[in-house]
Structure 1
Amino acid sequence: MATAQLSVQDQIRQLEGARKLVLGNANYYTQVIQATLPIIGPSAQVEFRRWGAEFLAEAFATPAIAPGQKETLSLVVLETLKLLVEDPNQDVLVLRGVIQAAASIYPLALRWIINNSYDTHTWERMTAIKTRILRIWDTAPLNVRICCIKFAQRVVLAQTQSINPEPRRGDLLDISLVMIPSNHPILDAPKLEAEASGLLDRMLGVLQDNSSDALIVDATLNTLSILVRNRPTTSNRIVNTVLNFNPLKLASSPLTPRTKVLIKSMEKTTRMLLMHLSRRNPQNPLVGRMQQQIERLMRSRAEIFDEGSRKRALVEQPNGVETKRQRTGVVPPHPQLEITPLKPGPHTLADVFTFTSNDGLKHFDVSNNVPAHIAARISVTTFARVDPQLLDRAIQGVRDRLTTLYEAQQQPVNPETAPLDVEEDEDDYEPDFYTAEDTEQILNKLDSSPADDRHELEKPALGGLALPTFHLPPPPTLNPEQAAKVGQGSVTRVFGTMRTLEDPAIKKAKAGINRLAASSYDRDSWITVITRLATRANAGLDNLEEDEDSKEAISTIRLSDTIREQLFNYVLEDFRKRIEVAVSWLSEEWYNDKVQEQSSPTLSDIPAHYEKWTLRLLDGFIPYLHSQDKVLTRFLSELPELNPAIFSRVQTLCRDPSLVNLALTTLYYLVMMRPPIRDLALDVIQDIWTDYEDARPIAAKYLQRWRPNFIEAAQQTLSGNEGAVGASATTVVT
């Protein structure tokens, strides 16, 4: 017995179950798409076609599927999409889903055909889909036209130049014209770029014509942001078009509720786009015009919609007709604020600032009923709208109340300046009038009085009414280990502060070795302070022996070494950008070593920090150099002194054949630009010619100009050695 055929609703329910399955586990997308393609084909019922188009659009837009898997699935569904979109009587909802799926598939199909030029049928299907979508762009229903705009945006993104110089190694989703080789048999890059330029002009035509179709305008504006961000070649054209677009054009017509909604929608979308572009790229030369346009739109919008809510002006009426109430621009005067004086007695600070006579408001506790951020917002809004005259009146009333309270207080008797030998219980005694001493006289008396008398004066008098003098306890004494630990913490905080400072936008000329440290609060000033703390703070203390009497000096030396280690680590974190820091630091080290040598010529055990830290820096960043790196040349050319130990590190680069050219180019630059060390650099080039056979062609080219005799002698020596080897081989054979 044959089973009854399922109804359309039951089959749709089963398809929804398949959709829930793939939403839970994206690995089932391949099986579900292949199984549902026969069901959602062009000959299927409209309900199945609607579900299939929506499902395909959702599948190719989800990030849960890997780009490689999407690319494979796109080859499977292209024929179905082509048949669905070419049907002239196709359902609108089906057409919308097909175009959305095609917008996601187009970059994948382009990348597939770039890497697989033999598959011409796939590109023909994709081209047919693109041609059909662009043909129905202007005549399709509104919701389909919005999808066509999205498809055109994806085509422009795929057929223009990307900001990524190496798209194959960058974002897999950033597919652009850069990926197409010049000799591709199917794709012609100039034609594709011209087509993309025409599509962009077609998109921007809606804005250039000042269209009043808010949905089309908003859809176009929403697709332009990613084009400006990822395709710089289109940036100026798009921004200038948006700046020339007037979203308030409909304001000249009668303002109906529908017109108001359309104007607000287009104005807000335009303003949000300009704000987003100005924030993402503040260095854009058009940012100033964007800000002016944003302010102009906000001001025009306020004028248009606020004007509609105002009352119309008075119109002269004929005699006998009742005149309507006139809108006046004069603000009614505010009622006078009554500030009652405070009653005698103690008062709180709230009483001083309270002017209302309402007991309910007086006892209302704001801190328990209104959150702090809401109270702050209400206060700011109130102060912005309050009448200035009323505010001045209230401030003056508070001042008058404070003055009244101050005058009402009795001045306490100062026991230190009161006349002596006065007994308060003798009513018949009338003391003489004494002038109270001021603070300076009291301090002078305390300084000149003996210690015992001073302590007596510091004691509380008159029954303990006066407070005794308070002295802070002396700070605890730090031992050398604690001082060194505290110093290390301070150095760490200084480096943390320095990392938060950006490089100055304008590089100013430096004043040399005698420049003022920390003359401006920037990174260079901090570096100058730190390097001089490391090099000059312990000048003359390095030769002290470690005994009980020199612990403080040892702590200073340890602190200097800590700063040097921090500087070393700071430079190596990003040595290409911080090579200037290394040169400044090593210059200070070299200067300190020379000053120490001149000040103590008899001492031979003064440590030389310059050579030690220069070699450590070279050993730190030489393993990370590549053949096109220029940081080594810059570093060696700016160092104050070069010696054989430093050149030996450069010579080790020739062990790597890819770095031979870098090492010899750096040495030859020093030969040309630093004559004092020319002979030393040429000696190193000679050693490289002798020790490394791979480097001989380049080294011989440099030595031929400066030391031709060495090349001739070396070649003769090699010829003689080869002859001797050949004779020995002949003898052995014989």
Structure 2
Amino acid sequence: MGSPGDITNTLQHLNAARNIALSDSSLYSQVVPGLLGVIGVDAQLELRRWGADFLAETFASPVLPGEHKQKLGIPVLDTLKGFLDKPSEDASVIKGVVQTAASLYPYIFRHIIANPADDATWQKMSSIKSSILARMDTAPSGVRICCIKFVQKVVLVQTPGLIADPRRPDQNETSLALVPRDHPIIPPSNLEAEASGLLDRLLGVLQDDSSNALIVTATLNSLGSLVRSRASIAKKIVATVLNFNPLRFAGPHLSSTEKVNIRSIAKTTIAFLTNILKRMPTNPLNGRIQQYVERLKHALVDAFDEASRKRPAPSEPTDGLSNAKRQRLGAEVPGSQPQYPPLPPGPVSYAQLFALTQEAGLKSFDVNAIPFDLVLKIVPPLLASIDKSRFDNALDAVRARYLSLTQIQPNDALSAARHATEAPPLSADDDEDYEPDYPVEDAEQILNNLDHAPADDMDGMRPSDVALGPFSLPPPPPLSDEEAVECGRGAVTRVFGTLVALEQNPATKTQKAGLNRLAATNHDRDAWITVISRLATRSSAGLEEGMIKSEYDSGHSLTRDGFSLSNAIREALYTYVIEDFRRRIDIAISWLNEEWYNDRIQLQQAGEGSPASPQYEMWMLRILDRIVPFLDAKDKVLIRFLSEIPSINESVLQRVTRLAKDPERVQLAMNSIYYLLLYRPPVREICIDALEDLYKDYDDAKTSAGKLLAKWRPQVLETAQPNGTS
């Protein structure tokens, strides 16, 4: 037996080694094998305790990789078995050993799956398992809690789990599903039967009349992960918990310790079931679980709420004063408001309206005698010191007085007009001799009647003599060419800024689709696109019969110094579409339709055979040339674009056929031409010409093009056959 000084020195060195391993997890592979000889079965009790805690901490560490734990766990089994086989071993040592075995069991199980010939390692693990299960019912409470954790790990491993990826078994959870049916050491049928028996043993803690709060709480906590991870046994576990009554031992004659234990078990049961409701919302037992939880909560309150069994305390005011006492003490009764004097009969002045006191001295005091600077110093602190409730009551009293005065019926038309438009006549003279019964009119009708009455001369001058003449603002100065160009560019920028904002925050569509719909009625993205595209096209076509057409006919042009508003909008539209053409292809199609319509109207107005400036073909080909290099084999943007633009010519199909130069995009070109061939009969002939070019010039497209030409133009195949054979 070593001296206390030697043991203290050894523990210091062990703690230093532990700190080194904690700082770098890769050093565990060097530290653990070196410490097994120091903390072995024959070591001192302090060293064995330290060693058991260290091993439990090591194999539960989340920073140590699983493959390292599996490699280190095999030599550690001998040390764990020696601790368990030693008679009357210390309970703290056994606790650490059982915790280590619980952490090691999945890794040893996986090692045996991969190494079916390593029977010795499995025999050691089986011996450790048997020793732990033998202690489960007779050991102290701390050891039994660790044994419950070990049993939970065994049931978790020896029950089939989900296989996330069958091709990578190393990434799947360790469970019975990974064990081959013909495994020589761990046959799955035997292990599954053992797991079922251990689960029944674990659930037996809830089924027996056990009042040990530590064991019952540990069992409930261990069942939570089994319910979440193993659906095959979840229903059995939940049904057992629903049949468990944690308040079976509750009674009127319980000690404080027993009350705390029962309440702890009940709250753990409620937390266990509530967690199932949150994590498994589709569980078919959720209805029963919810009813059980509510019933258990009410039973818990009825069993331990002592306040409901006592006579309730008398209700007392919060400040310690009742209404009867307030009268004797001179305190203010809550809810009582001070009584303000009513207004005197007859005319009322502003002073009388705001006077809320009956003291004659205060009423006769002239505040004008106080200097103004002194008033500024006195009033703010006075306002800050006034009680808010009393101040509100005073305001309500003045407001009530004012409303009562406004409801007095006016005596004549002029007073009625002033009464309806201005403040009430507080000091007007009342003529009670004659009060005609006027019909009820509003202020506007009364004033209109007064306006039509004959006006009296004021010093011989009528209002018409002093009326002002007409007034107009001077016209703004004309813009220079540079200013006009700059304003035009700024307008285009603002227009597209609005379009970007509408695209980021789309508005709710309330307009129904159909032929009878208007082009732009809502302030949304589609309506703004219509406005922009028509600004670009119709401003130069002269479609409107108003200002734009008259300016066009009179020779005024929208172009200054090479700047055209229409072309500026077109360039901005083109840039906007190309920036994200897959999402904005509908904008391009809508714009090109407007351009095609513009070209047709211009051609009609200029007359047949007259030169025109077509815009549709130029912008359509520019968009097509820009998006074609970015199309892939599975892209459907090209087919949509070709199917919805109003006109297609040979130039378009030449660009489509050039896609066949790329072997990966041959099918895209074929699909596009085949779609036009089927659904756009007006361009069928030029589509067949494009197929013929593909058949003759592109070897990768020869097979696909030949199948279509055999139906639509078989003579091409007949003429090409002799050349092919020669």
Normalised to the residue count of structure 2, the TM-score between the two structures is 0.59
Say yes or no: does 1:406 pair with 2:399: yes
Distance 2:631 2:355 in 1: 75
| Counterpart code for 1:65 | L
What 5-or-longer segments of structure 1 have no aligned partner? 313-326, 348-361, 367-393, 456-477, 502-510, 518-527, 569-581, 624-631, 725-734
Change (3 A) 1:417 1:512: closer
Give the residue type in structure 1 aligned to 2:615. Answer: D
1:376-406 deviation line (CA, Å, top 9, x unaligned) = xxxxxxxxxxxxxxxxxx9xx9998765331
Q: Which residue of 2 aligns with 1:340?
A: 337
- In structure 1, distance between residues paired with 2:386 and 2:202: 60
Contact 2:420 2:443 in 1 (8 A): no
Once the 2 structures are TM-superposed, how far is the Cα of residue 239 of structure 1 from its aligned partner?
Answer: 3.7
Which position in structure 2 is the counterpart of 1:300? 299
Residue 417 of structure 1 is matched in structure 2 by 418
Secondary structure of the 2:131 match is helix
| 1:23-72 deviation digits (Å, cap 9, x = unpaired) | 33334323321221012112222222111111111111122323332232
Q: Counterparts in 2 of 1:499-538, with a 5 A limit?
A: 532=526, 536-538=530-532
* Paired letter, 2:400: E
> Equivalences for 1:362-441 in 2 at 5 Å?
403-409=396-402, 417=418, 440=444
Label 1:592 to 1:402 Cα distance change in 2 as closer, same or farther (>3 A): same
SS of the residue 2:214 aligns to: helix
Q: Is the contact between residue 577 and residue 588 of structure 2 (CA under 8 Å) also seen in structure 1?
A: no
State the distance in 2 between where 1:184 and 1:21 align. Answer: 41
Q: How does 1:209-224 map to 2 (within 5 A)?
A: 209=208, 211-224=210-223
The residue type paired with residue 85 of structure 1 is L
Aligned residues of 1:156 and 1:200 also touching (Cα < 8 A):
yes
User: Closer, same or farther in 2 for the Cα pair 1:17/1:331, shift >3 Å?
Assistant: same
State which of 615, 619, 644 in structure 2 corresponds to 1:605.
Answer: 615
How far residue 100 of structure 1 moved from its aligned partner, in angstroms, is 1.0
Residue equivalent to 1:79: 78
Q: Which residue of 2 is the match for residue 324 of structure 1? A: none
Instruction: Output aligned runs, 1:81-480, within 5 Å.
Output: 81-163=80-162, 165-166=164-165, 174-180=173-179, 186-189=185-188, 191-209=190-208, 211-252=210-251, 254-306=253-305, 308-311=306-309, 327=311, 337-341=334-338, 403-409=396-402, 417=418, 440=444
- Please report how far the alpha carbon of residue 180 of structure 1 lies from its aligned counterpart in structure 2 after TM superposition: 4.5
The change in CA–CA distance for 1:213 and 1:428 in structure 2 (over 3 A counts) is closer
1:264 to partner: Cα distance = 1.8
Structure 1 CA distance, aligned partners of 2:176 and 2:625?
47
Superimposed CA distance per residue, residues 415-463 of structure 1 (whole angstroms, 9 cap, x where no aligned partner): 993799xxx9x9999999999995645997999999x9899xxxxxxxx
* Structure 1 residues 590 and 18: CA distance shift in structure 2, 3 A: same
The equivalent of 2:534 in structure 1 is: 540
User: CA-to-partner distance for each residue in 1:532-558, whole Å, 9 max, x for gaps?
Assistant: 357545343454679569759956984
| Alpha-carbon distance in structure 2 between the residues aligned to 1:158 and 1:611 | 66
Task: List per-residue Cα deviations over 1:227-258 (Å, max 9, x = no partner).
Answer: 34444444444444444433333325743312
Once the two structures are overlaid, the 10-residue window that deviates more, 203-212 or 61-70, is 203-212
What letter corresponds to residue 418 of structure 2 in structure 1? T
TM-score normalised by the chain length of structure 1: 0.58
Contact preservation (8 Å) 2:420, 2:442: no
Q: 1:647 to 1:286 in 2, by over 3 A?
A: farther
Question: Aligned AA for 2:299?
Answer: S
The residue aligned with 1:13 is 12
Task: State whether residues 228 and 238 of structure 1, in contact with CA within 8 Å, keep that contact through their aligned partners in structure 2.
Answer: yes
2-side partners of 1:271 and 1:406: how far apart? Answer: 58
Hey, what's the Cα distance between the residues in 1 that align with 2:58 and 2:288?
41
Distance 1:108 1:93 in 2: 24
Cα deviation digits, residues 638-676 of structure 1 (max 9, x gap): 9994998999899899759xxx9xx89x999x999x986
The one-letter code of the counterpart of 1:99 is V
Contact 2:492 2:568 in 1 (8 A): no
Q: Secondary structure at the match of 1:248?
A: coil
Identity of aligned residues (%): 31
Code of the aligned partner of 2:338: P
Q: Relative to structure 1, is the Cα distance of residues 538 and 29 closer, same or farther in structure 2, using a 3 angstrom cutoff? A: same
Residue 370 of structure 1 aligns with which residue? Answer: none
Q: 1:636 to 1:93 in 2, by over 3 A?
A: farther
CA distance in 2, matches of 1:417, 1:74: 100
Are the aligned partners of 1:67 and 1:172 in contact in 2 as well (CA < 8 Å)?
Answer: no
Output the CA distance in 1 between the equivalents of 2:6 and 2:431. Answer: 120
Task: Kindly state the Cα deviation for residue 293 of structure 1 after the two structures are TM-superposed.
Answer: 3.5
Question: Which stretch of structure 1 is more off in the superposition, 637-646 or 96-105?
Answer: 637-646
8 Å CA contact 2:158–2:176 kept in 1: the answer is yes
- Amino acid corresponding to residue 303 of structure 1 in structure 2: D
1:565-590 alpha-carbon deviations (Å, 9 max, x no partner): 5695xxxxxxxxxxxxx7xx767876
Flag structure 2 segments of 5+ consecutive residues without an equivalent.
324-332, 342-353, 357-383, 407-413, 453-462, 470-485, 541-557, 603-613, 645-651
Q: How does 1:540-559 map to 2 (within 5 A)?
A: 540-543=534-537, 547=559, 551=565, 558=572
Query: Counterpart amino acid of 2:399?
Result: Y
1:187 and 1:653 map into 2 onto residues whose CA distance is: 58
Q: Which residue of 2 aligns with 1:316?
A: none
2:616 is aligned with what amino acid?
I
* Local SS of the residue matching 2:300: helix
Distance 1:446 1:195, change over 3 A: farther
Contact 1:483 1:555 in 2 (8 A): no
The answer to whether the 8 A contact 1:586-1:613 is kept is no
- Could you list the per-position Cα deviations for residues 58-91 of structure 1 after superposition, in whole angstroms to 9, with x for gaps in the alignment? 1111223233322322223122122223435332
Is contact 1:587–1:640 with CA below 8 Å preserved after alignment?
A: no
Give 2:25's aligned residue: 26
Q: Does the 8 Å CA contact 2:55/2:100 hold for their aligned counterparts?
A: yes
Q: Is 1:162–1:178's contact at 8 Å kept on the other side of the alignment?
A: yes
Instruction: Give the Cα–Cα distance (whole angstroms) in 2 for the partners of residues 621 and 161 of structure 1.
Output: 48
2:264 partner amino acid? S
Contact 1:590 1:610 in 2 (8 A): no
Contact in 1 for aligned 2:506/2:525 (Cα 8 Å): no
Provide the rounded CA distance (Å) in 2 between the counterparts of 1:516 and 1:69.
72
Contact 1:541–1:557 (CA<8 Å) still a contact in 2? no
- Alignment check: 8 A CA contact 1:531 1:588 kept: no
Output the CA distance in 1 between the equivalents of 2:192 and 2:355. Answer: 84
Secondary structure of the structure 2 residue equivalent to 1:538 = helix
Are the aligned partners of 1:81 and 1:129 in contact in 2 as well (CA < 8 Å)? yes
- Structure-2 change in CA distance of 1:240 and 1:564 (3 Å): farther
Structure 1 Cα separation of the partners of residues 152 and 200 of structure 2: 11
